[in-house]
A and B are shown apart, each in its own frame.
Chain A
Amino acid sequence: MTMGSFEVAGLSKSFGTGPPVLSEVSFRYDGAGAIGYLGPNGAGKTTTLKLLVGLLRPSAGAAYLNGVDPMADRKAALWEVGALIETPEPYPTLNVYEALDAVGRARGLSRSDVDHEVDRCHELLDLPSLGQRIGWLSKGQRQRVALAATLIGDPRVLLLDEPTSGLDPAERVLVRRLLNQLKRDHLILMSSHQMLEVTEVCDQLIFLHHGEVLLQDRVDRVADRIRTREVDVEFERPVPADAARRLDGLAAGVTVLSERRWRISFDGADASRVRLLALCQGVAPVVQFANTSLVLEEAYLELMPRTPEAP
């Protein structure tokens, strides 16, 4: 399988006379892997994805899928692309098979290949019965059908806008596992608010804020930069609350969560973390010493500038 690519070059988008939703955003990826596209609501994530697939026209710059501008040749640009944007809804009168069959046929699959692909997706995504009408499905089931539609024909590039939106925890796990499997030989651009999802799936990150790229790097490099400033400690046995005084001078604060659990805030430095662990072990044997939040969540909060409150 040849590898896919996507590129946005100086991409800007404004609606009417309003401020730009995207301002000269540029990035290019090729090969295989998963790129997390992060940012608060209104940052321009979905707009970027829409521009990439030609659902919107750029105000400036250009987008390319596998080297082809979708505004110039939609069919060629989207040939090797599966896109899940916003909330796709196949006609409610169709059944699951018909909805997926049309996608397979449009992507050039033979009847037998469509059947094979539908069966594959049925298994991968635990789809509802193929004869069931789309209009009768739950939100989560519809989302899985839409996700299946992006995978039919095995396109090289997957553009996923919050792919686990509307899914229950078990379905989210299913999709995360699938994405981890797919990223080995597909290129995935995934916007999400789920930091756990991004942490588990993505190799690279793009942080977007107010239509501008704030940071673009590998996940491990971003994680290295971020100092988590809070840890949860769980002791093997109950400990007295006043034992927390032993951490004075190193901990900025200790919250006693239960007889066996404390939450400690500190300066985030690695040396401080090592000393804190040692001090805690002096109180009682430690069975767990972990960050209270995901590293990416901390990174997200640190990177996103505070939006001033409206007067």
Chain B
Amino acid sequence: METTVNESGPAPTVEGSVGSPTRRRVSDLQQWRTITFLQLGHYLRTNRFYGLLAFVVLVSALTLAFQVDAGITAVRVDQLGSPSEYLSNNLANTPLWIILAAAFFGGDALSVDFSTGAGYYMLVLPIRRPVLLAGRYAAATLVTVAIVGVNFAFSAVGVIYFFGAPGVPWGLVVESLGVAAVFALAALSVAFCVSSFVRSPAAGVLVTVLALYVGFTTLANVFELASIEPVFSMPYAGGAIATVLDTDFVHSQSIPVGMGQSYTIWTATVLEGLEIMAAYIAVFLPLSAFLYQRKESTG
């Protein structure tokens, strides 16, 4: 049935109450910026942000405190002979922080639209879903890099304390932070993908951590026992963050285990790490967008 509701045309507007503001066509890029800032404002006020930040600050501060307590000689001579080496050692945990942050900020980034009323607020706006996804992805990346930046800052303070201010290899630090940012993009791609098919936000966070850290680390260990380089592993690729600063870098090392047997451990080169990360981004980000685009609000 086709019906014109008000055949006499629109009645006059009630004075002073309803007026039409000027609306201009807004580009996807502008909407992306709006969503990024909205999401960033949300993330920066969540308990998970403050919790993770406090955890990273605590661990970084304790690490620095123990090193200070051990004394300059122990740090400089025993194992960390150069500022670069010191930084490389200190930043070895960065992939873990990134994976945790990716799980916290990406693990429910899309499922929130289908498990809470947030979707009924956001998905009815004239915004394409890939733009929504891209805005959230950018915000999650910024927050993740900010948290990792704290770890970098503590490490830089350590270099200044042990080796003096001129000893900080700023160029390499920035390069390492850049690799960390790419790793964050890769980890978030996986987290967003998980989030696009799980229903519960908590499940998204848990599955991301289990898959990216526990699962990959376990599989990588198994592959190493078989002397196979774990090029599929995200934490393995994350090793490139520290590799950038590692002056004594060794790609593979054979360790004898007795009875003529040995097994090989690998450390990713920077290029190799970046290639693995790029592969994850190339596969999981479009997949997330595809699944998100097709997902229905059935709840």
Contact = CB atoms under 8 A, between A and B. Distances in A.
A148 to B, nearest CB: 11
A31 B14 CA distance: 18
Interface stretch (B55-63, B83-91, B112-120, B263-271): B112-120
Nearest to B113: A55
Given A15-B298, A184-B10, A85 B1 contact: no
B124 A78 contact: yes
Nearest to B26: A108
Q: Interface size bucket, A side?
A: 35 or more
B11 A185 contact: yes
A253 B4 CA distance: 43
A32 B13 CA distance: 12
Contacts of A116: 21
Query: Which secondary structure characterizes the binding site on chain A?
Result: mixed
B2 A28 contact: yes
A81 interface: yes
B18 A32 contact: no
Contacts of B119: 55
Contacts of A31: 4-7, 9-10
A117 B21 contact: yes
Contact of B124 (A34, A85, A154): A85
Nearest to B118: A89
A93 B148 CA distance: 23
A206 B292 CA distance: 33
Of A57, A89, A110, A120, chain B has the most CB atoms within 10 Å of the CB of A89
Interface residues of B, number: 50
Contacts of B231: none
A98 B41 CA distance: 9
Contacts of A77: 126
B11 A32 contact: yes
Contacts of A181: 14, 17-18
Contacts of B297: 50, 55-56
A184 B24 CA distance: 24
B258 interface: no
B23 A27 contact: no
Contact of A27 (B1, B14, B121): B1
A86 B119 CA distance: 10
Given A31-B7, A184-B11, A184-B12, A109 B2 contact: no
B168 to A, nearest CB: 36
Of A15, A31, A76, chain B has the most CB atoms within 10 Å of the CB of A31
A149 interface: yes
Nearest to A34: B5
A188 to B, nearest CB: 9
Interface string A38-80: 0000000000001001011100000000000000001111110
B10 A153 contact: no
Interface in A198-237: 203-204, 216
Given A87-B117, A109-B21, A29 B5 contact: yes
Of A91, A110, A203, chain B has the most CB atoms within 10 Å of the CB of A91
B129 interface: yes
A57 B45 CA distance: 34
Contacts of B128: 74-75
Contact of B5 (A35, A53, A109): A35
Contact of B118 (A3, A32, A91, A105): A91
Contacts of A30: 3-5
A19 interface: no
Contact of B23 (A34, A88, A93, A108): A108
Contacts of B17: 120, 123-124, 181
Nearest to B31: A106
A127 interface: no
Interface in B1-55: 1-7, 9-14, 17-26, 28, 30-31, 34-35, 38, 41-42, 45-46
5 contacts: A56-B297, A75-B128, A89-B120, A94-B38, A108-B25
Interface of B: 1-7, 9-14, 17-26, 28, 30-31, 34-35, 38, 41-42, 45-46, 116-121, 123-129, 294, 296-298
Interface of A: 1, 3, 15, 26-35, 50, 53, 55-57, 74-79, 81, 83, 85-91, 93-94, 98-99, 102-103, 105-110, 113, 116-117, 120, 123-124, 146, 149, 153-154, 181-182, 184-185, 187, 203-204, 216
Q: Closest 4 CB pairs between A and B? A: A33-B5, A89-B117, A108-B26, A184-B11
